Amino acid sequence: MLKTIIKKEIQNNVYSFRFLVTFVLLLAVVAFTIFVLTNDYVKKVDEYSQRQAEIENYLKNYAHYNRVGSIISPSQPPVPFFMLIRGLSSDVNIGHFDNDPLPVMFPLLDLTFIVAILLSLVALLFSYDAVCGEKEDGTLKLMLSNSISRSTIVLGKIAGGTLTLLLPFLTSLLIGLLIILFNPRVSWKSADWGALGLIFLGSLLYFAFFYGLGIFISSRHQSGSASIMTSLFVWVLLVLVIPNLSPFAASFLSPSPSRIKIGREVSRLTDVERDQLGRKLMAERLQALTKKYPVLAENIPEAEAKERMAKDPAIREAYDARVREVQAAWDEANRIQNEKAGSLWGELDRKEAAQTRLAAVISMISPLSDFTYLATDLSSTGLQNERYFHQIAEDWARRFDEYGRIKISLLQKQDPTKDWWNTPVDMSDRPKFTYQEAPLGLRFKQTFADFVVLLVFNVLFFGAGYVSFIKYDVR
């Protein structure tokens, strides 16, 4: 009898006007969105390649080790999933607001938005009268007169409704994927297809939950008009209110200092205060060194100093000692100030991390948050990828810093009179930053909890719908 109930539910939905509207709407929205995002992805790839070429050209002429930090800072290239899911990395630069405010005010749709907002609402619109509507039509009493268990009816309605929604969603998604595949500038790897399959599974759990929620609400009302009002209220609460209020609730329960305020203090510590300390330590060291090497007190032009160093090993030793003391003074100043700055950033990071974790926990009350975390993390556009990117960027920064120190040390041995830290040098042999997406297995492991939460939501509301339906008066 379960197959019969599922077939009946599918037929009722497919022959309805709302199914036709949903089908047409999804075909148009998904196809158009993926077409625009695919072109935007190609544009971003070209812009990224151009930026890298400009950086290399800049380094050929202006590669001062003390000046290139912001120029060669790691950046993430566009990932193939940008054609489906925009995620965190797609945030519009607010600096572009003056030129074109519309992308900031009205951000483009993506697959996450279509599933999380559109399909969840459609699922409730399909299911709000699944029980009370049949009661009003008199078909529910007839169905129960055939000795069909109420659990079979609830399960059949949820399964049939989910399969009904699957048809337009899958059709529109396949058309969107054809748009991607027919673009010669786009290539997907096996890990991308695997991630898409997992996102599709998460989508199925997501709108199955909302269909089950609609069954539960329908079985708590005697009329469709009352049921749809309750459904819309619950949808607004779960989809719009809870996810948007969770950061504010977390900031109230676990406050953290302003990042702008900390940034200003760090800038003062590592700029003005560091320079003052560096000059003080350098003066102290050079004063003691001048007593040992009186020649350093003489105001000798650079050219003459080089000649005298070449002729007299003692003078060479004095200038080598001067370079070491100056370097030691600034290293000490940098160490002291960086420790102060690091302490401020470390405390801020700890408080922000605690606040973010709390916000995530609060937001997971909403299935929209669970699905969004799942979809963005699997597509390498979410919070987990941001943490992964920072980790590999920090690894590269350590390697580049070590490379710079070794290179400058070698150059100073060749010419200790020159300030090599602020002199253009050849950096073509530097360690270059390369971004590789996290393995699919790791991404699935990170999103496993989101799958479990969505599954638990489905089970809970199936049980709630079943209990409500058992007590439902079909007369």
pLDDT tens-digit profile of 164-199? 999 999 999 999 999 998 988 888 889 999 999 999
Confidence at residue 100, expressed as pLDDT on a 0 to 100 scale: 53
Residue 415: pLDDT over 60 = yes
Residue 451: pLDDT over 80 = yes
Across 43-52, 149-158, 283-292, which has the greatest mean pLDDT?
43-52
pLDDT tier, 475 (very low <50, low <70, confident <90, very high otherwise): low
Share of the chain above pLDDT 90, in %: 35
The full set of domain ranges for the chain reads: 2-253+438-470
Confidence at residue 99, expressed as pLDDT on a 0 to 100 scale: 53
State the chain's mean pLDDT as an integer.
85
Residue 423's contacts (CB-CB under 8 Å, 6 or more residues apart) are 64
Confidence at residue 90, expressed as pLDDT on a 0 to 100 scale: 47
pLDDT tier, 4 (very low <50, low <70, confident <90, very high otherwise): confident
d(CA 362, CA 200): 25
Residue 387: pLDDT over 90 = no
Residue 297: pLDDT over 50 = yes
Residue 391: pLDDT over 70 = yes
pLDDT tier, 92 (very low <50, low <70, confident <90, very high otherwise): very low
Tokens of 459: 């089970």
d(CA 156, CA 166): 15
Q: Which residue has the higher pLDDT, 33 or 405?
A: 33
CB neighbour class for 39 (10 Å; exposed up to 12, middle 13-18, buried from 19): middle
Confidence at residue 93, expressed as pLDDT on a 0 to 100 scale: 44
Tokens of 125: 């619109």
Q: 317-343, pLDDT tens digit by residue? A: 877 888 888 888 889 999 999 999 999
Tokens of 50: 């151009």
Confidence at residue 309, expressed as pLDDT on a 0 to 100 scale: 75
Q: Which residue has the higher pLDDT, 96 or 416?
A: 416
Kindly state the average pLDDT of the residues 199-226: 91
pLDDT tier, 91 (very low <50, low <70, confident <90, very high otherwise): very low
Q: 196-210, pLDDT tens digit by residue? A: 999 999 999 998 999
Confidence at residue 94, expressed as pLDDT on a 0 to 100 scale: 42
What is the DSSP track for 383-446? Answer: HHHHHHHHHHHHHHHHHHHHHHHHHHHHHHHH-TTS-GGGS----TTSPPP---PPPHHHHHHH
Q: How far is CA 417 from CA 74, 170, 304, 309, 315, in A?
A: 32, 70, 11, 10, 12
pLDDT tier, 67 (very low <50, low <70, confident <90, very high otherwise): confident
Confidence at residue 231, expressed as pLDDT on a 0 to 100 scale: 92
Instruction: Residue 211: name the closest of 451, 452, 473, 10 by CA.
Output: 10
pLDDT tier, 230 (very low <50, low <70, confident <90, very high otherwise): very high
Confidence at residue 51, expressed as pLDDT on a 0 to 100 scale: 87
pLDDT tier, 131 (very low <50, low <70, confident <90, very high otherwise): confident
Confidence at residue 97, expressed as pLDDT on a 0 to 100 scale: 45
Residue 311: pLDDT over 90 = no
pTM: 0.79
